[in-house]
Amino acid sequence: MKILAFESTCDETAAAIVEDGRKILTDQIFSQADLHAVYGGVVPEIASRCHVESISILAQKAIDAAGISRSELDAVAVSYAPGLIGAVLVGVNFAKACALALNLPLIPVHHIRGHIAANYLAYPELEPPFLCLAISGGNTILVDVRGYTDMKIIGATRDDAAGECFDKTARVLGLPYPGGKPIDMLAQGGDDTKYQFPIAHVDGSPYDMSFSGLKTAVINLAHNAEQKGEELDRAGLAASFTKAVSDSLVPRTVAAARALGYGRMVVAGGVAANSRIRTDFQKAAEKEGFQLFIPPLKLCGDNGAMIGAQAYYEYLAGNLAGSDLNAYATMEI
């Protein structure tokens, strides 16, 4: 089954063709990162307009790159929630038009379910059940994946997402947007014990997290140093900050997997590209005797292939949509 899938929830426009939920025939992505860098973050109106300009071009490029005709497509899929509402609307409306014009079924896909499904593309042997930590610029959640379409959140951040903290910390350090990769590179030569940052705990909710205090601590540290005329150890700050994020994520994920009795841990989302977090998860998995699944870097960020992968299982479960499909800024997984 060949599915044409679209992703437009934030600042990447993507069109991919995925076969049977496991094989990428093509994955075309247009990143707007350079356009938003001057503002230090995503500007929703600019993002929406760029999606409008590029999505039809990417759709045709995907079909051409896959070496197939439109008649060989079996379904159209789209990420319909959550995300920047204007951006999501572009993808949803274009996907509806494609499905109508090609007389194909339309499959709605939750964006975070797509991130989880990126691991099915990287690891054909992976099947539910398993525990997944989904970490990105807008989400930080622990998901009990009982089946391909049966999922339950067992822990989440109470405030800021981990990825948002990376972007804010990068701004404090004078690094470009998006901040994940620049912080990762800067931290490579830093002392992760240079600065002590808080790791929040939520009473009565052992799997919930909070990153607002960490973000505030970084900002206060930088401001205090500036007021006193002291020089910040930028590499040390980047390394210490990354350690604090990892120390908040990894133990909770391990504890949740152990409590659920799963021998498999899955990590997904843009923050999963961070080298320190990947290394800490690998060490934890080896210590616990768990299998660890983290997608390659190209599948960590937003892409269309992950939407096509999850769409296959949504289709098998009968989760289809009509021309009344709407876009949503927020939605539970």
Percent residues over pLDDT 90 in the chain:
90
**Beta sheet of 23-31, edge-to-edge order:** 23-31, 12-19, 2-7, 75-81, 106-110
Mean pLDDT of 126-145: 95
pLDDT of 177 over the 90 cut: no
Q: pLDDT (tens digit, 9 = 90+) per residue, 1-58? A: 999 999 999 999 999 999 999 999 999 999 888 888 888 888 999 999 999 999 999 9
- State the pLDDT at residue 41: 84
- State the pLDDT at residue 24: 98
Q: Let me know: does 129 contact 113? Beta carbons within 8 Å.
A: no
Topology adopted by domain 2-115+301-316: Nucleotidyltransferase; domain 5 (3.30.420)
Q: What's the whole-number average pLDDT of the chain?
A: 95
Mean pLDDT of 219-246: 94
Same fold, 2-115+301-316 and 128-299: yes
Give the ranges where the chain is alpha helix by DSSP (H). 33-37, 44-66, 85-102, 111-122, 162-172, 180-187, 212-228, 234-260, 275-288, 304-316
The secondary element (H helix, E strand) that includes residue 13 is strand 12-19
Tokens of 303: 């892409």
- State the pLDDT at residue 137: 83
- State the pLDDT at residue 39: 84
Domain boundaries, given as residue ranges, for the chain? 2-115+301-316, 128-299
Mean pLDDT of 244-261: 96
Terminal alpha carbon distance of the chain: 24
Phi, psi (degrees; rounded to nearest 5) at 161: -80, 155
Tokens of 14: 């993507």
Comparing 132-141, 243-252, 312-321, the range with the smallest average pLDDT is 132-141
Q: What is the CATH number of domain 128-299?
A: 3.30.420.40
Instruction: Give whole-number Cα distances, 204 to 109, 207, 248, in Å.
Output: 32, 9, 16
Residue-wise over 173-207: b if at least 16 C-beta within 10 A, else e? bebebbbbbbbbebbeebebeebebebbeeeeeeb
Q: pLDDT (tens digit, 9 = 90+) per residue, 55-100? A: 999 999 999 999 999 999 999 999 999 999 999 999 999 999 999 9
- State the pLDDT at residue 51: 96
Between 274 and 201, the higher pLDDT residue: 274
Contacts for 319-322: CB closer than 8 Å, 24+ residues apart = 319/107, 319/108, 319/149, 320/105, 320/106, 320/107, 320/108, 321/80, 321/106, 321/107, 321/108, 322/106
